[in-house]
Amino acid sequence: MHIIESGNVAAAHGVKLARAQVIAAYPITPQTPLTEKLSEFVEAGEMKAQYIPVESEHSALSVCIAASSTGARAFTATSANGLLYMVEQLHWAAGARLPIVMCVVNRGIGAPWTVWNDHQDAMSQRDAGWIQIYCADHQQIIDTVIQAYYLAETVSIPVMVCYDGYILSHTYMPFELTDPEKIDAFLPPYKPAYALDPANPANLNTVTLPDIRPDIRGQMAPGYMEIRHDLHVDLRRAIDVTADIDKKFSVAFGRGGNPFLEPYRCDDAEFVAVCLGSLSYHLRDVVDALRKEGIAVGVAGVRLYRPFPDQAVINLLVGRKAAIVFEKALSYGNQGALYGDIKAALYPCADRPLVHNYILGLGGREIQTAHLLDSLRTSCRTPDAIGDKPVWLGLKM
């Protein structure tokens, strides 16, 4: 059944279908309608979950960490400065290997205050040890939330499901609401290998010495570095797991098929635009227009951003004339973060393309189709003239 609703409501339905058991969140624009919808579901008895109101984002994630430690399926959501307020717990959740799912409704970071969309909030946490997946429309939001639990619980790593504030969160469009029974068949209940239990008390994540040492049972226990190495190895493993889950989901529901990058008109493209989130769909219309001008250009939206799918990036971009990276965030003082990641992935390849970087849409600055058209056309027509530094689009002063 299709319904027409906002992206926030799509996310809430995903959480409901995934049968999350504990929800703790603090409202922040533009995430608020998502948590309101979840509290309505719980209040109406449509969802058997504990909705725990908290006084801050730090507490929201703390509650999820506690709940997840006991083996409950936990959910939270936030945006911008709310995400930053939970940063300590964010890194903790990854280190503690808890399969929490969180929606990050992407919004620019203050100062100065903005409530509008860019990707700096999630981007600032790309190295936290969480998996990050970006969505381009409402169907991807609801489907990704469900798959995120599967992924998180398979690799014991928390997942951020990122979608554009306002552009997706407050925009209404149709999406398929899959039958709960079919989702239940796809996503089994969470059965943790270990769960905190008052009957069997334990210390978790205590001070861990630099070196390995015997534990209280006399067995060698890993040090901090081994534990962190495990996190990295499992994050890299999550790339293959993501592909497996996407395949399983595609078979069950007929949706998906591009778990790493979602290409459009890339088969014969000499030039490929690359970006995160809903912008990749906006660029499809731009690609169509440039194709009519005779330019062989395509676009690919990056879905899985952490762990970074290097091989998929290489497979897509090597042999092209240029990759043009559009970003709503940057590593201040350097360049766009995705731009840097893509260049690093391509560096070992002999036939690597030129890579361009456009910064746009910060703090909700309107992304005009004309700007996209002009910049992408320029990148394709004069690829050698752009240079290796970010170009800011749409500055008015």
Partner 1 sequence: MNQNVIQIRWHGRGGQGAITAAKIIANTAFVSGYTGVVMAPTFGTERRGAPVLTSLKISREKIYDLSPITEPDIVVVLDHLLVEEANVASGLKPGGLMIINTPRTPADYPFPGIIVATADVTTIAAQVGLPAGIVNTGIIGAFARATGLLDIEDLARGIEVEFTGKKPKRNAKSAKVTYDQTIIGGQ
- Binding to partner 1 by CB under 8 A, coded x per residue (else -) over 284-313, reads xxx-xx------------------------
Q: Which is nearer to partner 1, 41 or 175 (CB)?
A: 175
Count Cβ atoms within 10 A of the Cβ of residue 377 and give its class: 0-12 exposed, 13-18 middle, 19 or more buried. Answer: middle
Q: Which is nearer to partner 1, 263 or 364 (CB)?
A: 364
Answer yes or no: are the C-beta atoms of 309 and 260 closer than 8 Å: yes
Tokens encoding 307 = 């762990």
Q: Among the candidate windows 89-97, 141-149, 171-179, 334-342, which touches partner 1 by CB under 8 A?
A: 171-179
Residue 50 belongs to what H/E stretch? strand 50-53
Q: How many beta carbons lie within 10 A of that of residue 110, not counting itself? A: 12
Residue entry with tokens 């409901």: 16
What is the closest distance, in whole angstroms, from the C-beta atom of residue 104 to partner 1 in the complex?
Answer: 17
Q: Which is nearer to partner 1, 107 or 356 (CB)?
A: 107
CA dihedral sign of residues 21, 24, 28, 32:
positive
Report which of 130, 124, 140, 134 is spatially closest to residue 173, judged by C-alpha positions: 140
Count Cβ atoms within 10 A of the Cβ of residue 150 and give its class: 0-12 exposed, 13-18 middle, 19 or more buried. Answer: buried
Would you count residue 328 as binding partner 1 (CB under 8 A)? Answer: no
Answer yes or no: are the C-beta atoms of 358 and 377 closer than 8 Å: no
Residues 330-389 that bind partner 1 (CB under 8 A): 364, 366-369
Would you count residue 167 as binding partner 1 (CB under 8 A)? Answer: yes
Q: Among the candidate windows 54-62, 75-83, 151-159, 280-288, which touches partner 1 by CB under 8 A?
A: 280-288
- Binding to partner 1 by CB under 8 A, coded x per residue (else -) over 17-36, reads ------------xx------
What is the closest distance, in whole angstroms, from the C-beta atom of residue 192 to partner 1 in the complex?
Answer: 39
Would you count residue 110 as binding partner 1 (CB under 8 A)? Answer: no
Answer yes or no: are the C-beta atoms of 227 and 208 closer than 8 Å: yes
Q: Among the candidate windows 146-154, 163-171, 221-229, 382-390, which touches partner 1 by CB under 8 A?
A: 163-171
What is the closest distance, in whole angstroms, from the C-beta atom of residue 9 to partner 1 in the complex?
Answer: 12
Q: What letter does residue 82 receive in the DSSP assignment?
A: H
Q: Could you tell me which residues are beta bridge partners of residue 276?
A: 302
101-106, strands of its sheet edge to edge? 50-53, 22-25, 74-78, 101-106, 159-164, 131-134, 304-306
Would you count residue 177 as binding partner 1 (CB under 8 A)? Answer: no
Q: Mark 231-253 as b/e (b = at least 16 C-beta within 10 Å).
A: beebbeebbebbeebbeebeeeb
Report which of 63, 67, 132 is spatially closest to residue 103, judged by C-alpha positions: 132
Which residues are CB-contacts of 197 (< 8 A; sequence separation ≥ 6)?
Answer: 70
Cis peptide leading into 383, omega within 30 of 0?
Answer: no
Q: Which one of 119, 126, 282, 365 is in contact with partner 1 (CB under 8 A)? A: 282
Helix (H, G, I), strand (E, B) or coil at 133: strand
What is the closest distance, in whole angstroms, from the C-beta atom of residue 374 to partner 1 in the complex?
Answer: 13
Q: Which is nearer to partner 1, 115 or 212 (CB)?
A: 115
Q: Which one of 41, 51, 92, 116 is in contact with partner 1 (CB under 8 A)? A: 116
Tokens encoding 266 = 């890339």
Q: Which is nearer to partner 1, 174 or 348 (CB)?
A: 174
CA dihedral sign of residues 140, 142, 145, 147:
negative
What is the closest distance, in whole angstroms, from the C-beta atom of residue 328 to partner 1 in the complex?
Answer: 13
What is the closest distance, in whole angstroms, from the C-beta atom of residue 135 to partner 1 in the complex?
Answer: 12
- Binding to partner 1 by CB under 8 A, coded x per residue (else -) over 119-158, reads ----------------------------------------
Answer yes or no: are the C-beta atoms of 212 and 221 closer than 8 Å: yes
Would you count residue 251 as binding partner 1 (CB under 8 A)? Answer: no
Q: Among the candidate windows 90-98, 125-133, 274-282, 351-359, which touches partner 1 by CB under 8 A?
A: 274-282
- Binding to partner 1 by CB under 8 A, coded x per residue (else -) over 223-242, reads --------------------
Size of site (CB under 8 A) for partner 1: 27
Interface contacts to partner 1, rule CB under 8 A: 2, 4, 29-30, 115-116, 166-168, 170-174, 278, 281-282, 284-286, 288-289, 364, 366-369
